[in-house]
Structure 1
Amino acid sequence: MAKCGEYIKSQFPLIDDDLKKYVEDILDNGADEFEDTEEVYEAIGEVLQGISEKSEKDIRDICEKLLNMLQPNKISAGNGPHKVLDAPIHLASMTSNQDDTTELKSIWLQTRDDNFKVDAKKLEKAEAKLQQKQGKRQDAKVPVAVPVLQSATASQVTSKKDNKLEAKGTNRAQDIRIENFDIAYGDRVLLQGADLVLAFGRRYGLVGRNGLGKTTLLRMISSKQLKIPSHISILHVEQEVVGDNTLALQSVLECDTIRENLLKREKEITVAINSGATDPSLSTELSEIYVQLENIEADKAPARASIILSGLGFTPDMQARPTKTFSGGWRMRLALARALFSRPDLLLLDEPTNMLDIKAIIWLENYLQNWPTTLLVVSHDRNFLDTVPTDILHLHSQRIDTYRGNYDQFHKTKTERLKSQQREYEAQQQHRAHVQEFIDRFRYNANRASSVQSKIKMLDKLPELRPIEKEIEVVLRFPEIEPLSPPILQLNDIGFFYTKDKIIFNNINVGATLESRICIVGDNGAGKTTLLKIIMGYLSPTSGIRTVHRGLRFGYFSQHHVDQLDMNVNSVELLQKSYPGKPVEEYRRQLGSFGVSGDLALQTIGSLSGGQKSRVAFASMCMGNPNFLVLDEPTNHLDIETIEALGKAINKYNGGVILVSHDERLIRMVCKELWVCGRESVVSIEGGFDEYRRIVERELEAQSK
């Protein structure tokens, strides 16, 4: 019975001790009498159903396992126990000779002891007690999921002058001014009374903590829920290109609708003239079309589109392939290429480096430095923000502050500004205290009455300064692990292919220890993720030997894990499902180690920002107490402060780390060894990331010639 009790506790961690004892008593009394799973379910199924959200099928499966524990030598198939008869039995004669007072001893007609059935009074008492306890622990032990917030709303104040110009169609201003606007996401206010001014031709980097509304602001602008002059064209790169039979190069060229319409009309007129049309206006229109095509340099468009695609990693063969043959990541690159080619008045980019390898990021940084119109980009890649923007927009405290210069200049200026404001606040507090002391001392002195009144008025007129609200420092903590004696991990003469005509790796020899901090870099498609899966044993090499320590426990993080989180539960419930049987406090403590605490841990996963979801995925990964971390693009959607915290956490971690990342700052923070993946090999290069960047820049330079 102890075994049954342990099993019940493992399946129902929140079961009350009294109720557990009640269920055990029922099972104990009927241990030898249960004939099949149905009878066990009739006895305790209703009770178990009332203390969990498990389905009826799950409860029946649990009842079947309990029956097997109670009667291990009995095969239950729904037809009762199997018994071998000593002699033939004539059932008709047995039943005809039976009277109501005779107890029939037969394997077919048994009287049953009903002691094991549910006692109605006991059940009623147990259920009442259960409901009372569930009510008490509703807040503490069973977190209530907050509904997923469905949409964002925006409102703003517009000037009468701008409204008149817009109505007349005479507004030709290229600068964008969005003044005194609010944005809310469900019941939560993201921006209140904020102002945003985007000067034409400048490049703005929008920064701020995860979950403050950066992506929502871009969507409000692109959907024109925030009013912008109608003559300004906006393009927001958010959705991947639809996969169809359109060639990649043609998909980019189609963005230039003026060129496409002119070419279409040229073709129609040419066909008409060749078919014998004699209308002289057709020839005139055709001449005008040729002039317009020449003015927009239509003949140079394919070359310009090809250069953009090449910079984003599309080879000539890939440019000639239909869009439906590309994965989602490559279609997002196509969407970015279309945006760069079409050159809207305002280009909105949300984390453009997430889908790119380091070579493509370096190309994009160089390309955007000469961007001719207005650019607004959300990015958490610090090196990208140091290279591309001319201005930084800092979203915090429900408002937006503007800083001139790149991210590095913004960080210095903001730090100095906060120090200055803090000094000013402290000086005013000292002054207030000094004046208040004078007032208190001479308040009832008739000779000083006029001076006291003067001081009181002076205090009333002083501007009320507030103390500086410091942003909470992000801290991530990986678990402490026990050391392992080497060797830890070794790949010897490893080869791998999916098909024999496409070899990924050939004769690879690499190894790692618990002190390793290895970063894997290389072009997209070079096999970085495949190498990680071979290292962890998810893929078996086609040749060579993989050797790992028997005590090695991998913790694997990838963006696919973030996308596959259950969006309808909260973070605590997510960990409860993956690692049942632990106290709620332990789940909360684990989430708190990755910055998911307080009410945030009780919000549904679907209502969290991308960065917050990543932190939940980190917390889930570390519940298994891994001693070797394998991180595949962990920085996607993390804000700059969290990336910094991730780097510090990796450096403090006493297990091994293999990292695939394109974030230059994180690589420089943690990397002790750099593996370059490509051309069927994995090579460790001397000189680290600086040497790799020089190699990439030389390749891009040769490619542009």
Structure 2
Amino acid sequence: MLQTINLTQRYATKKLFENVNIKLDKNKRYGLIGANGAGKSTFLKILSKSIDCSSGEVIITSGMRMGVLGQDQYAFEDLSLKDAVLIGNKRLYDAIKEKERLYTEGDLSDDKVNARLGELETICVEEDPMYECEVVIEKILEDLGIPSSKHNDLMKTLPSSDKFKILLAQVLFPKPDILLLDEPTNNLDLNAIEWLENNLKRHEGTMVVISHDRHFLNAVCTHILDLDFHSVREFSGNYDDWYIASTLIAKQQEAERNKKLKEKEELEKFIARFSANASKAKQATSRQKQLDKLDIQSLAVSSRRDPSIIFKPKRTIGNEALECENVSKSYDGQMVLNQVSLKVMPKDKIALIGPNGVGKSTLCKILVEELKPDKGVVKWGATVSKGYFPQ
């Protein structure tokens, strides 16, 4: 369905990838992984033909529809939520809107108007044979946590996190043959991520997704595309399968190189020792020929870098790290936190989870004393020094 031939991309003197030849098949879901800056998003944009490559070719099977997850959350501000999803199928959207306009403003006694209405109806049947698009869109929005009471609201009324959900619904609604997703789990809560995972596992076409979430990649991917060493290598299986295979390959390559380096060292020692010895000159010459033929490939340098993050406490924490008692907080009369109490002990590691908008960030800001609660108290241990990394 989708193929690249000698795909190469450079920016000035920087080479992202070179001579990439891959074939992406139907019913396969590919996770595109690699270090930041390796060229994943660029590669996806080239596949979608939204940007040109330096050299090479992208071939898409004739008649295949491609869906690309949008990144501009403010591109549809004046559309209703339902229309912003419907426009994911532009042909159907245009036909429905023109039909509505002609029924409202057109002269229905005009033969040309009626002929055009017939053409538009044909398009609607081709794109939505069961006349179920409205029901499907409403179901998608509700599954993403957006209540039916808001479906006719304008996009401009939504918070940013929900705007991204609409973009996701927009690309999934038409069920494209080829689906390209760049970081689709960004800004999604756990319920929305679970829904997305289940939806993508049912996708029957070709899918390529960029994600740094290994749990998500394990859940949805049947194959991994590893962008590293200025190339793309395909692995069967999910992220965990890739990790095992790639680690084994790296160890094998290193062992083979070390073996050749040892052989090189022994040959050089023999040549240095016996090249001036008449009785050993012939053997030294033979060893020199072996050395000349020895092909020692330099181990390619990976674009990946292991992070080095050290949280070193200034001093030992006492018996209690943090206590929060009956903390409450409201915004514009709406209760966000209601009498929240918790106790954090030394060495506790706590994940704060919940749907978007329920007050997770608000609670964090109150705990680090960047925001005052309406009621309640926050007490830190006397020996605790705190750090906060905001969203």
* Range class of TM-score, shorter chain: 0.7 to 0.9
* Structure 2 residue 253 is the aligned partner of structure 1 residue 427: no
Residue of structure 2 equivalent to 1:394: 226
Query: Secondary structure at the residue paired with 1:262?
Result: helix
* Structure 2 residue 123 is the aligned partner of structure 1 residue 296: no
In structure 1, what residue type is equivalent to 2:289?
K
Residue of structure 2 equivalent to 1:207: 33
Query: Secondary structure at the residue paired with 1:538?
Result: coil
Q: CA 1:311–1:190 in 2, change beyond 3 Å: closer, same or farther?
A: farther
Q: Distance in 2 between matches of 1:254 and 1:287?
A: 21
Q: Distance in 2 between matches of 1:213 and 1:474?
A: 19
In structure 1, what residue type is equivalent to 2:90?
T
Q: CA 1:323–1:390 in 2, change beyond 3 Å: closer, same or farther?
A: same
Q: Distance in 2 between matches of 1:460 and 1:487?
A: 68
In structure 2, what residue type is equivalent to 1:426?
N
In structure 2, what residue type is equivalent to 1:290?
E
Cα displacement (A) at 1:343 = 4.0
In structure 1, what residue type is equivalent to 2:9?
D
Q: Distance in 2 between matches of 1:268 and 1:326?
A: 27
Q: Distance in 2 between matches of 1:176 and 1:503?
A: 53
CA contact (8 A) 2:69 2:167 kept: no
The 5 Å alignment of 1:42-121 reads none
In structure 2, what residue type is equivalent to 1:228?
V
Q: Distance in 1 between matches of 2:323 and 2:344?
A: 7
Q: CA 1:519–1:446 in 2, change beyond 3 Å: closer, same or farther?
A: same
In structure 1, what residue type is equivalent to 2:222?
T
In structure 2, what residue type is equivalent to 1:205?
G
CA contact (8 A) 2:327 2:339 kept: yes
Residue of structure 2 equivalent to 1:679: none
From the CA coordinates, give the structure whose radius of gyration is larger.
Answer: 1
CA contact (8 A) 1:312 1:356 kept: no
Residue of structure 1 equivalent to 2:74: 241
1:351 equivalent among 180, 183, 201: 183
Q: CA 1:246–1:382 in 2, change beyond 3 Å: closer, same or farther?
A: same
Between structures 1 and 2, the one with greater helix share: 1
The percent identity for this pair of structures is 28
Residue of structure 2 equivalent to 1:181: 8
CA contact (8 A) 1:190 1:212 kept: no
Q: Distance in 1 between matches of 2:8 and 2:276?
A: 50
Q: CA 1:303–1:198 in 2, change beyond 3 Å: closer, same or farther?
A: farther
CA contact (8 A) 1:252 1:334 kept: yes
Cα displacement (A) at 1:417 = 0.8
Q: Distance in 2 between matches of 1:291 and 1:180?
A: 40
1:554 equivalent among 361, 386, 389: 386
User: CA offsets per residue over residues 634-689 of structure 1, 9 Å max, x none?
Assistant: xxxxxxxxxxxxxxxxxxxxxxxxxxxxxxxxxxxxxxxxxxxxxxxxxxxxxxxx
Residue of structure 2 equivalent to 1:256: 89
CA contact (8 A) 1:491 1:508 kept: yes
In structure 2, what residue type is equivalent to 1:326?
L
Query: Secondary structure at the residue paired with 1:218?
Result: helix
Query: Secondary structure at the residue paired with 1:237?
Result: coil
Q: Which moved more, 1:190-199 or 1:249-258?
A: 190-199
User: CA offsets per residue over residues 180-203 of structure 1, 9 Å max, x none?
Assistant: 41322x65x142424152413332
Q: Distance in 1 between matches of 2:321 and 2:311?
A: 19
Q: Distance in 1 between matches of 2:15 and 2:96?
A: 46
The CA RMSD measured in Å over matched residues stands at 3.0
Q: Distance in 2 between matches of 1:204 and 1:192?
A: 18
Q: CA 1:451–1:347 in 2, change beyond 3 Å: closer, same or farther?
A: same
Residue of structure 1 equivalent to 2:52: 225
Number of equivalent positions: 381
CA contact (8 A) 2:40 2:210 kept: yes
Cα displacement (A) at 1:409 = 0.6
User: CA offsets per residue over residues 296-346 of structure 1, 9 Å max, x none?
Assistant: 225221222223323332222232321111122221222222122244454
1:380 equivalent among 190, 212, 215: 212
Cα displacement (A) at 1:532 = 1.4
Query: Secondary structure at the residue paired with 1:238?
Result: coil
Cα displacement (A) at 1:348 = 3.0
Q: Distance in 1 between matches of 2:318 and 2:299?
A: 52
State the TM-score, normalizing by the size of structure 1. Answer: 0.49
Residue of structure 2 equivalent to 1:191: 16
Residue of structure 2 equivalent to 1:327: 159
Query: Secondary structure at the residue paired with 2:140?
Result: helix
1:313 equivalent among 145, 164, 176: 145
Residue of structure 2 equivalent to 1:495: 328
Stretches of structure 2 that go unaligned for 5 or more consecutive residues are none
Residue of structure 2 equivalent to 1:276: 109
Q: CA 1:406–1:238 in 2, change beyond 3 Å: closer, same or farther?
A: same
2:168 equivalent among 336, 341, 350: 336
Which fold has the larger relative contact order, with Cα–Cα distance below 8 Å and residues 6 or more apart in sequence?
Answer: 2
CA contact (8 A) 2:316 2:383 kept: no
CA contact (8 A) 1:176 1:199 kept: yes
State the TM-score, normalizing by the size of structure 2. Answer: 0.84
User: CA offsets per residue over residues 554-589 of structure 1, 9 Å max, x none?
Assistant: 311113xxxxxxxxxxxxxxxxxxxxxxxxxxxxxx
Q: Distance in 1 between matches of 2:253 and 2:245?
A: 12
User: CA offsets per residue over residues 583-614 of structure 1, 9 Å max, x none?
Assistant: xxxxxxxxxxxxxxxxxxxxxxxxxxxxxxxx
Q: CA 1:302–1:434 in 2, change beyond 3 Å: closer, same or farther?
A: same
Q: Distance in 1 between matches of 2:363 and 2:105?
A: 58
The 5 Å alignment of 1:543-692 reads 543-549=375-381, 552-559=384-391
Residue of structure 2 equivalent to 1:415: 247
User: CA offsets per residue over residues 332-366 of structure 1, 9 Å max, x none?
Assistant: 22222212224445433222222111111111111
In structure 1, what residue type is equivalent to 2:32?
L
Q: CA 1:317–1:412 in 2, change beyond 3 Å: closer, same or farther?
A: same
